[in-house]
């Protein structure tokens, strides 16, 4: 039973930290190679933390590296650093939250019509001749839902942005405009929205007020608010109360 309780404890801790478990049956999302590395590190840490070194009693044995405890500790630290670096790099490369934000801004841009522009010289846009000084309004809402640009354009699919970088969608997704006159606060907005969204999901349990589906009908206004405001109930997760108190 001791081994089972040990595995349960480690699974609880690592599920809280990484969202993964490293003991038990191999189910969906179970990464065996990563689990083997973690088990080895945990075993070595516990073994070395309780080991008795004869060097503490007979210091001259240090000259011959008796028991090689120091070398084993350095090896465990190296393995632990590599394991943790891998988890940190995985967090950096996984863009689930950013993909959700991008898809939300695609379907529901905060400002459907971008700031008016005036071309400094005559130009041609999509086959239309635009004279210098003409006021041009960019309909970001229409561009974001153009079936010629987006596959399954009316569906909420954050995975469409998975692995996509650079020009592949930068010129199609423009919630903050493009070019030199784009909103200078866009990088800050992405960081703040990502932080707030992740905090709301991690720290709170959410529930709808009624069993009806959320009404996504758009209302009237400069920022295109919802026609029917969202009503939801939330409850702070017990394990996250200290985090919320520090915000």
H/E element holding 234? strand 232-236
22 close to 11: Cβ distance less than 8 angstroms: yes
DSSP assignment of 124-192 equals EETTEEE-TT--B--BHHHHHT-TTTSTTTTS--GGGGTT--THHHHTT--TT--GGGS-TTHHHHHHH
Task: Check whether 123 is labelled as a binding-site residue.
Answer: no
The residues that bridge with 139 in the sheet, in sequence order, are 113
C-alpha span between 189 and 180 (Å, rounded): 17
Residue 91 gets the label, from left (phi > 0), alpha (psi -120 to 50) or beta, of alpha
CA distances from 168 to 105, 110, 171 (A): 17, 22, 7
* Residues of the binding site: 183
* Residues of the binding site for heme: 183
């Amino acid at each position: 039973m001791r081994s089972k309780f040990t595995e349960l404890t480690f699974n609880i801790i690592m599920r809280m930290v990484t969202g993964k478990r490293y003991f038990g049956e191999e189910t969906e999302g179970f990464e065996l190679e990563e689990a083997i590395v973690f088990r080895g590190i945990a075993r070595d840490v516990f073994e070395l933390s309780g080991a008795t070194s004869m060097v503490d009693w007979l210091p001259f044995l240090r000259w011959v590296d008796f028991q090689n405890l120091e070398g084993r500790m350095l090896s465990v630290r190296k393995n632990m650093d590599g394991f943790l670096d891998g988890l940190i790099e995985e967090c950096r490369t996984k863009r689930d939250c950013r993909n959700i934000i991008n898809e939300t801004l695609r379907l529901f841009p905060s400002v459907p019509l971008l700031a008016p522009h005036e071309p400094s010289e005559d130009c041609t846009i999509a086959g239309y001749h635009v004279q210098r000084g003409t006021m041009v309004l960019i309909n970001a809402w229409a561009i974001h839902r153009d079936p010629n640009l987006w596959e399954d354009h009316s569906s909420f699919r954050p995975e469409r942005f998975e692995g996509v970088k650079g020009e592949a969608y930068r010129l199609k997704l423009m919630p903050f405009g493009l070019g030199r006159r784009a909103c200078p606060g866009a990088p800050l907005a992405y960081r703040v929205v990502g932080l707030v969204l992740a905090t709301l999901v991690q720290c709170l349990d959410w529930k709808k007020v009624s069993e009806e589906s959320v009404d996504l009908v758009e209302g009237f206004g400069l920022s295109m608010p919802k026609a029917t405001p969202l009503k939801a109930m939330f409850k702070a997760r017990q394990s996250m109360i200290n985090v919320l108190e520090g915000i």
